[in-house]
Chain A
Amino acid sequence: MQKRNSRIIIGAFFIAAFALFLLPSLVPGIDASLAFADEAAVASDADAITYAPAPKLTAADYPTIPGVNSRVVVWIVAQLHLWFGAFVLAVPIFVFIIEVIGMSTRDQRYDNMAYEFIKISITAFSLTAILGGLLVFCLILFYPDLFNYLATIFKGSMFAYALLFFVESAVLYVYYYGWHWLQGGFKKWVHLTLGLLLNASGLLLMFLANAWTTFMMSPSAVDAAGVFSGDTWAAIHNFLWNPINIHRTIANVAYGGSIVGAYAAFKFLSARNKEQRAHYDWMGYNANFIAIAALLPLPFAGYYLTAEMYVYSQQMGITLMGGVFAWIFIIQAVLIGALFLSANYYLWCGMGRSEGAHRYYPYIKYIAIVIVVSFLVWFTPHTLVLTNAELKSLGGPYHAVLGPLGIMPAKNTAVNLLILFTFLSFMFYRRANKIATVPWAAKGNAIQIALFTTGIINIFILGTYYGYYTNTVYKVAASIPQVLTTLVIIAISVAIDAFMYKGAKEVAPLRWGRVPARSQYALFLLAVSFTWLMGLMGYVRSGIRQHWHVTNIFRDNSPDAFTPGLGYAANVISIATIIFMAMVMFVFWLSTISSHKSKTAGYWKEQGT
């Protein structure tokens, strides 16, 4: 049972990944036609549109309200909008996949879970819209000239955005309220199509909004004075648009998974009976699986985005990786470490669901050692913070042992091991309640052990020999075979396991709901860390524009044009996270009260007696 579930989930994940890659290629067509429609409309009014150059502002051009820091307000509102947007965008993606799984397996549990997911997101959807409205309001209020400038260039896509929003709302409401009506046979297919439509419009909405953001980072079709000279599509299809689209889509799925996981954890903790606990435990497990599966490819998407930033502007790339923002990647390392540690802990705790897992308990500590050591290496900063006494003792800020750990080859090696051993945790978990019965089980295990061993040796050799004893060209290039090694190990192991555990004997039943409450806090940690991490990376993405509204063409001359330091940013992000968490709690609470019914005997007039 469990095996089939996960096989389906993995299959669905690949379908989703495929769909995600397909979507961006479809979008230009749709977008272009929208753009043409707009242009045609405009062209009938005036033959040629001339755009004004970017205004040169002074501090007096920015309206202020005494006691209100306009930038922080816009920052927090935008961040909240983004969090909710990411959440409501991601949920339909995996709701759709889970619905497909439920449909093909005819296992109603999946359908119920999918329905519950969309139920959570429905309140969040309206909150997203409200926050989006608030963001526009704040922008018009505090940054009227910037808004005006962007709105002039993007008027076509902004209008399309508003229309699309109506479409998405309509589809969502039919999809949600029609869930129980559109069941069985043809009706289910209609419902599924609605789900696809919902996702398509949702992604399109995000891509449109991304274009406004990326235009501010990498403006296209503008001259040095900021005079725009293209059509809507030219503005949308700017340099960083696609990298951001890919990165955000994947990150949204991971993020949505973590938030749903937190929801399941909360429901689990407050569950009153065994059935509920089992249900929410199962839901939490699946949500965690989604989050981690989407988390693993995220570093590569991030790497692609960063590389594109370098290509677009070396100055932007150097600003990102050095100077002020250099330490942000240490904080990021801590946060991602927290994500990995909590994901592993959740898996280990989950082994308690089956008695069969006891066989694997002794190995856990070794996995833990590798994960913690890898993480420590990953976390070691290149520039150490030293007190003067330590400086004197070391004779300089370079540490003979820790210094080499601070550079990329060590970190690449560490992160590959981190991923590999997290995968190992997952494999142990999967095998917890089963014993392979195929005749070649011993051989299969031996192959896997050999695979892991050679793979790890390979990663080490690539990391140490090529990382330290060759020139820079090889150093950088060595990270690619490292990643490939990791991926090959994971792929082959999954394949071997799939065959080896076909019809495997179940040694002990998997008892959903039998996990300690501690494990649920791991899910909360995952959600909180994810939220905070998104805020942090949003800060740096925006921060690398420095004192420009639109990079290099529209200068920010407001009193808040300065780039905030890390501590300042962290405080803003924390406040925003707390507000977001409070709102999420509210959303979760709303989804529970709809099922509560209070007895009101004697309150209402008795009818018909």
Chain B
Amino acid sequence: MNNFLKVAIFSLLTIGAFTAYSNFGIPQIVPAPPPVEEELDLGGMTMDQFIALGDKLYHGKGTCTLCHNELLRAPLLDDSVAMALKHMSDPNYKGEATNVEEYLHESFVKPSAYVVAGFGKAGSNDTESPMPDVSGGGIGLSEAEIAAVIAYLQDISGSEVTVSIPTDVPEETGDEESEGGGGRAPFESAEAIIAEFTCGACHKIAGEEGEMGPDLTQIGALRDRDHLRRALLDPNAEITDDFMEGMMPAYGDQLNANELEMLVNYMAGLK
């Protein structure tokens, strides 16, 4: 019995020492809590918020920075637009993208379409990417979330954001009444937007007679929706003759996606 006690005490002391070391001998790192599955309210978002969402996804749920970081487990994506253009013209490119946005989207869901030299799966001779399909299981980004990340990547590359905020994502738009657009109540109609932003001070629209900017009373006949959308988001992208560059602020950025579409639709109807 004496031996039994000795052995028991010895074992307990050993276990105690291991426990003490694990608790006090090494720094205690608290693992990050499981990511929260968030509901997106895309309809109530401005482009800046959409890009910010992409930023958050990029560093969070998307787990992109696990590999796309300074340790270079995967290529850095801070200049992805230039990279995309270069890769699309590379003979090794196996994808079908025709523009940067499509290329980025393809690289998310079919990462092996183009593998940057040196970053392929071991032994695959750079034909197969170690990157998972981000729309799949582990990461599970939705189409809207992928679009947000593309917007973010385009933004940090310093180039134009061509992605439009998806508005037709019924499950994910969440509660219709949820607050968006920076805390103000959403606009009810295109007329309300025009009134709020005093478009008529410069443009001829909705009964106002502004003369600083182009006449918009029949703009729907002259321009298509894409052009109108771009003109709202990036007014200096194309300037109609005789008008000065840099006059109009990018009002589109202050609108959420629903509002922007509402305004674009309104304008497209002016014929």
Contact = CB atoms under 8 A, between A and B. Distances in A.
Question: Is A–B contact present in the complex under a CB 8 A cutoff?
Answer: yes
Interface of A: 224, 226, 266, 269-270, 311, 313-315, 318, 323-324, 326-327, 330-331, 334-335, 385, 521, 524-525, 528-529, 532, 546-548, 551-553, 556, 561-567, 569-571, 573-574, 577-578, 581, 585
A574 B28 contact: no
A357 B15 CA distance: 33
A269 B26 contact: no
A276 B75 CA distance: 67
Contacts of B3: 266, 269-270
Contacts, number: 114
Nearest to B137: A552
Listed residue (A327, A385, A529) with the most chain B CB atoms within 10 angstroms of its CB: A327
Interface of chain A, main secondary structure: helix
Contacts of A270: 3-4
8 contacts: A224-B135, A314-B67, A334-B18, A546-B34, A547-B34, A566-B22, A573-B19, A574-B18
Interface residues of B, number: 39
A563 B34 CA distance: 8
B91 interface: no
A571 B23 contact: yes
Given A565-B30, A567-B28, A331 B140 contact: no
Q: Which 4 A-B pairs have the closest CB atoms?
A: A570-B22, A552-B138, A547-B34, A552-B137
Interface string B7-18: 110111011101
Contacts of B30: 565
Nearest to B122: A311
Nearest to A533: B18
A554 B26 CA distance: 33
A577 B7 contact: no
B34 A565 contact: no
A313 B139 CA distance: 12
Contacts of B16: 574
B63 A315 contact: yes
Contacts of B8: 581, 585
B52 to A, nearest CB: 24
Contact of B15 (A314, A330, A385, A578): A578
A105 B8 CA distance: 38
B33 interface: yes
Contact of B26 (A315, A330, A552, A562): A330
Contacts of B67: 314-315, 318
B31 A567 contact: no
B31 A563 contact: yes
Nearest to A551: B138
A567 B132 contact: no
B117 interface: no
Contact of B137 (A327, A529, A553): A553
B207 interface: no
A378 to B, nearest CB: 15
B26 A331 contact: yes
Contacts of A327: 26-27, 29
Nearest to B14: A528
Nearest to B130: A314
Contacts of A323: 29, 31
B227 interface: no
Nearest to A566: B22
